[in-house]
């Protein structure tokens, strides 16, 4: 060390010989959805209501861990033969097989001929991201069409994966239902090979789903135009209460022999939110293609997280492969779906009872975790300020956050917002 | 399955729907090359020989060759089971787990932690931490490159490539001495443009097991200051290398004392045996709290479209153990047992080879540290190890010490001797 080049103790490294190399980094804006909970937590009001983030709550307003999940947990912790070795890159084999059967049907011909590759990923987000990265590298058409509106994170996932994002019309504010004509028009203008994001059921944020007839027309159009469907299935079983009914849309697209992708999440339907359990399935034309595709998907995963987390997938595998536990799960799942459906009815009735102006039938017609109320940002802000009701500014409310006790307060808030605020 | 729709199946087929796309979209997708490391274990499993030995993959094994779940982990799991409510963690992960993890790397009473100058998020083990950093580097220093040691863990190259950060290499391993090529390393540090980004292994370099000495770290740190370089430490083996977590973090301590604003990827895969749980942490030391808040918020923006928020159970195991003095003491004991067993196997392997009268020097086996030993065997010699002796290792000559037991060490020594004695 040259004594003439002493460096003072307080100097820091950085390309300018002082200061951080990340000095210019500015604070990112708060996530719009998660920011709602942040604001809610700060509010001291005893009547505050959190209808922001889509996590299920009981009648008592508490998070719920399914009994069958608790049982699976106990089995895991009591089994001393279980180890924590790395899973293969594609995850827990048993979990993958069972997830594919759940999604595509136990006797799906596509599974039987091995033209489906299923890899474990980090919940729905992770499955979408890995699938999108694969497509950005190996699909000749790098544009994805997403519905308007859609879950706030979709656009970012696809953009960061290297796809270019366009939208197709979906929600009709006038009817608070599906803009079916607009959807068909926009998709028929998409170039051949373009990817189309479809919510398998319980569209987030609107709760508006196509009917089966409409799904069939969508399928025909997509196949006619040579578009590639990418399903986001985050609510299977949670929407109608039936696992098979909620998978109909996806299964239609597999039954016609074509190709598609499906991102599956166990966050809501098994209440495994924070465990990050999900699966990406790529349905290919042939088994040979599926095998090569899987090998390439592994190259996406390895530099991202090497291999997926073991705990949540182990819980799912135990439940899905054990007949009693599977049945118990379907019962608990239906109970959650039924409670939400009953909240819809109660809210609708409460608004009718107050004579709240407007047509509120959409509350009953929409399906799944969320209701797109149709309230505007000013009305939402009013409800937050005056009634301590927290929701996203697009007017989306999480029905799972409601209970019989809190429905009257919400109905009061909506009534006030609609009759007073502009 | 019949649809109750207005369109009959026959009509569907006639109009060609479903049959229009005759071929796959991905018909021309090439089969990807197999992962070189994981492929070794696959081959090992397929071998019926009773003498087979797996010194390929880097996961700890006990003296019976069995995987280990630490007692402190089992106890933590018992406490957690039935209590965890599985709600989403924040995007940055478990605050408790991150706090405890920073103490391990920066020191129990670190002023940087007190002053809230560290931007830190829970990550998907070491891989996830490196990837978050690489993506962050690309986003906020788009003109930068990453200097990676030769050799390094193969996945490092994949990570920075997928993050689209250009890579350069710097000299590290000296094949002749089977030690550190310190002179060339320092030359590379001096010749890199000012303000370059370097990836450093904090301890127990993977795959060579060759670490700089304390003095050498000091010189590296000094030269980094002269050049204004950025140091990113991958620390996957803290506690696992020497048996003492504080000692294993010495390189980091030196850089912190010299005033560097470093980044660190930490993993609990090996030192807590949490491999498949995917628990780790990425941290970046900033100038002040305001900057740390900004940097953390941006790291979260990278995590959100990748996996939204990290898995909860593994993080809870870590914070349960590190937050309880008794459990933490137990963990430190168990980590030392693992490290000591490996050090014992290094000694035994070297002694066996010397006893066999090998003409070569095997000093490097005990000089090197951590999970791996860079044996110096050539790919051809490695092939002979596999084909003649059913010993499985990666073709770069890397031996996972954790796969060696008192039961197989003399067999292994004999095989190495056989393939190398006429070298």
Q: What is the distance of C-alpha A158 from the center of its chain?
A: 14
Q: Compute the count of residue pairs across chains A and B with CB atoms less than 8 Å apart.
A: 294
DSSP letters, B4-35, are -SSS-HHHHHHTTTTTS--S-TTTTPPPPPPP
Q: What pLDDT score was predicted for residue B22?
A: 55
Residues of chain A with pLDDT under 50: 1-17
Contact A258 B275 (CB under 8 A): no
The domain limits of chain A are: 34-64+338-420, 86-321
Asked if A232 is an active-site residue, the reply is yes
CB contact burial B270-303 (16+ within 10 A = b; e otherwise)? bbbbbbbbbbbbbbbbbbeeebbebbbbbbbbbb
Asked if A151 is an active-site residue, the reply is yes
Q: What pLDDT score was predicted for residue B34?
A: 79
Best residue in A1, A20, A254 for a mutation probing chain B (most B CBs within 10 Å): A20
**Residue B156: strand, helix, or coil:** helix
Per-residue pLDDT tens digits for B2-29: 444 444 444 444 444 444 445 788 888 8
Contact B12 A256 (CB under 8 A): yes
Closest-approach residue (CA) in chain A for B59: A85
Q: What pLDDT score was predicted for residue A22?
A: 83
Is residue B285 a contact partner of residue A22, using CB atoms and an 8 Å limit? no
Along chain B (423 residues), what's the average pLDDT of each consecutive run of 10 residues? 44 43 76 81 90 90 95 95 89 97 97 98 98 97 97 96 98 95 98 97 96 98 97 97 97 97 98 97 96 96 96 97 98 98 97 95 95 94 96 94 96 97 79
Q: Report chain A residues whose CB lies below 8 A from the CB of B82.
A: 70, 73-74
**Residues 84-143 (B) with a CB less than 8 A from some CB of A:** 84-91, 124-125, 127-128, 131, 140-141
Catalytic residue among A268, A329, A360, A412: A268
Is residue B199 a contact partner of residue B146, using CB atoms and an 8 Å limit? yes
Query: Which CATH fold topology does A34-64+338-420 show?
Result: 3.90.1150
Domains of chain B (ranges; CATH) run 36-69+340-420 (3.90.1150.10), 89-323 (3.40.640.10)
Residues of B assigned a catalytic role: 153, 234, 270
Contact A9 B158 (CB under 8 A): no
Contact A212 B293 (CB under 8 A): no
**How does DSSP classify residue A306?**
S
Contact A85 B277 (CB under 8 A): no
Q: Report chain A residues whose CB lies below 8 A from the CB of B291.
A: 20, 22-23, 25
CB contact burial A235-260 (16+ within 10 A = b; e otherwise)? bbbbbbbebeebbbbbbbbbbbebbb
How many residues belong to chain B?
Answer: 423
Q: Report chain B residues whose CB lies below 8 A from the CB of A258.
A: 18, 21
Of A325, A251, A208, A205, whose CA–CA distance to A243 is shortest?
A251
Map tokens 């009693």 to a residue: A324
Contact B4 A89 (CB under 8 A): no
How many residues belong to chain A?
Answer: 422
Is residue B145 a contact partner of residue B198, using CB atoms and an 8 Å limit? no
Of B399, B405, B420, B423, whose CA–CA distance to B353 is shortest?
B420
Contact B298 A28 (CB under 8 A): yes
Of A199, A193, A181, A128, whose CA–CA distance to A159 is shortest?
A128
Nearest CB neighbour to A271, from listed B86, B224, B260: B86
Nearest CB neighbour to A223, from listed B18, B308, B311: B18
CATH number of the domain located at residue range(s) A86-321 in this protein? 3.40.640.10
Is residue A252 a contact partner of residue A213, using CB atoms and an 8 Å limit? no
* Rounded alpha-carbon distances, angstroms, from residue B196 to A16, A163, A412, B136: 11, 30, 61, 15
Helices B95-106, B250-257: inter-axial angle, 10-degree rounding: 80
């Amino acid at each position: 060390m040259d004594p003439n080049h002493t460096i003072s103790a307080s100097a820091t490294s950085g390309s300018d010989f002082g200061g951080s190399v990340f000095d210019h980094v500015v604070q990112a804006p708060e996530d719009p959805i998660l920011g709602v909970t942040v604001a809610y937590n700060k509010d001291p009001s005893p009547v505050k209501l959190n209808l922001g983030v889509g996590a299920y709550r009981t009648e008592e307003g508490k998070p719920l861990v399914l009994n069958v999940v608790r049982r699976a947990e106990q089995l895991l912790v009591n089994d001393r033969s279980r180890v924590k070795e790395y899973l293969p890159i594609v995850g827990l084999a048993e979990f993958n097989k069972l997830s594919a059967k759940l999604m595509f049907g136990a006797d799906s011909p596509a599974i039987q001929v091995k033209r489906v590759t299923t890899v474990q990923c980090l919940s729905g987000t992770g499955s979408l991201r890995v699938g999108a990265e694969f497509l950005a590298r190996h699909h000749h058409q790098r544009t994805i069409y997403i519905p308007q509106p859609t879950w706030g994170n979709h656009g970012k996932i696809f953009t960061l994966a290297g796809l270019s994002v366009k939208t197709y019309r979906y929600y009709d504010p006038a009817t608070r239902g599906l803009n079916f004509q607009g959807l068909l028009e926009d998709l028929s203008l998409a170039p051949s090979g373009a990817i189309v994001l479809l919510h398998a059921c319980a569209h987030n944020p609107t709760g508006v789903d196509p009917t089966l007839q409409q799904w069939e027309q969508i399928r025909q159009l997509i196949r006619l135009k040579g578009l590639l469907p990418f399903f986001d299935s985050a609510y299977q079983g949670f929407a109608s209460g039936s696992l098979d009914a909620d998978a109909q849309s996806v299964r239609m697209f597999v039954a016609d022999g074509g190709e598609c992708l499906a991102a599956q999440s166990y966050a809501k339907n098994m209440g495994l939110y924070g465990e990050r359990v999900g699966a990406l399935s790529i349905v290919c034309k042939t088994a040979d293609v599926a095998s090569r595709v899987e090998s390439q998907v592994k190259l996406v995963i390895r530099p991202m997280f090497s291999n997926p987390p073991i705990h949540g997938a182990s819980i799912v595998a135990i439940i899905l492969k054990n007949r009693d536990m599977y049945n118990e799960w379907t019962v608990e799942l239906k109970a959650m779906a039924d409670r939400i459906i009953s909240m819809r009815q109660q809210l609708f009735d409460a608004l009718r009872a107050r004579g709240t102006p407007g047509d509120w039938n959409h509350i009953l017609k929409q399906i799944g975790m969320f209701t797109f109320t149709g309230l505007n940002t000013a009305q939402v802000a009013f409800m937050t300020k005056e009634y301590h009701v927290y929701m996203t500014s697009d007017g989306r409310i999480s029905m799972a956050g409601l209970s019989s006790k809190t429905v009257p307060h919400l109905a009061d808030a909506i009534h006030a917002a609609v009759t007073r605020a502009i | 399955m019949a649809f109750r729709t207005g369109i009959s199946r026959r009509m569907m087929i006639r109009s060609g729907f479903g049959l229009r796309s005759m071929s796959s979209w991905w018909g021309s997708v090439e089969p990807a090359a197999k992962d070189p490391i994981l492929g070794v274990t696959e081959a090992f499993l397929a071998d019926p020989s009773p003498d087979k030995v797996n010194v390929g993959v880097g996961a700890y094994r006990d003296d019976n060759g069995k995987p280990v779940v630490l007692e402190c982990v089992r106890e933590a799991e018992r406490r957690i089971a039935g209590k965890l409510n599985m709600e989403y963690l924040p995007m940055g992960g478990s605050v408790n787990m991150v706090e405890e993890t920073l103490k391990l790397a920066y020191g129990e009473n670190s002023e940087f932690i007190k002053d809230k100058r560290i931007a830190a998020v829970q990550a998907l083990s070491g891989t996830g931490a490196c990837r978050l950093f690489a993506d962050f580097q690309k986003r906020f220093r788009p003109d930068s490159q990453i200097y990676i040691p030769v050799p390094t863990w193969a996945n490092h190259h994949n990570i920075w490539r997928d993050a689209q950060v250009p890579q350069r290499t710097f000299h590290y391993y000296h094949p002749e001495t089977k030690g550190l090529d310190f002179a060339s390393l320092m030359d590379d540090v001096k010749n890199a443009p000012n303000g370059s980004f370097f990836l450093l292994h904090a301890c127990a370099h993977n795959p060579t097991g060759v670490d700089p000495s304390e003095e050498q770290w000091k010189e590296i740190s000094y030269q980094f200051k002269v050049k204004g370089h950025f140091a990113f430490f991958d620390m996957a083996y803290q506690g696992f290398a020497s048996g003492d977590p504080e000692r294993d973090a010495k390189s980091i301590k030196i850089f912190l004392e010299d005033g560097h604003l470093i980044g660190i990827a930490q993993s609990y895969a090996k030192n807590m045996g949490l491999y498949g749980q995917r628990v780790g942490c990425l941290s970046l030391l900033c100038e002040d709290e305001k900057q740390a808040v900004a940097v953390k918020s941006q790291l979260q923006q990278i995590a959100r479209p990748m996996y939204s928020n990290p898995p909860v159970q593994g993080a809870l195991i870590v914070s349960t153990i590190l937050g309880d003095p008794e459990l933490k003491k137990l963990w430190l004991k168990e980590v030392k047992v693992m490290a000591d067993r490996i050090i014992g196997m290094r000694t035994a392997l070297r002694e066996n080879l010397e006893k066999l009268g090998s003409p070569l020097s095997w000093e490097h086996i005990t000089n090197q540290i951590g999970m791996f030993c860079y044996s110096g065997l050539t790919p051809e010699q490695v092939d002979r190890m596999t084909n003649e002796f059913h010993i499985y290792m990666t073709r770069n000559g890397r031996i996972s010490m954790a796969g060696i037991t008192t039961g197989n060490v003399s067999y292994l020594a004999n095989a190495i001797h056989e393939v190398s004695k006429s070298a």
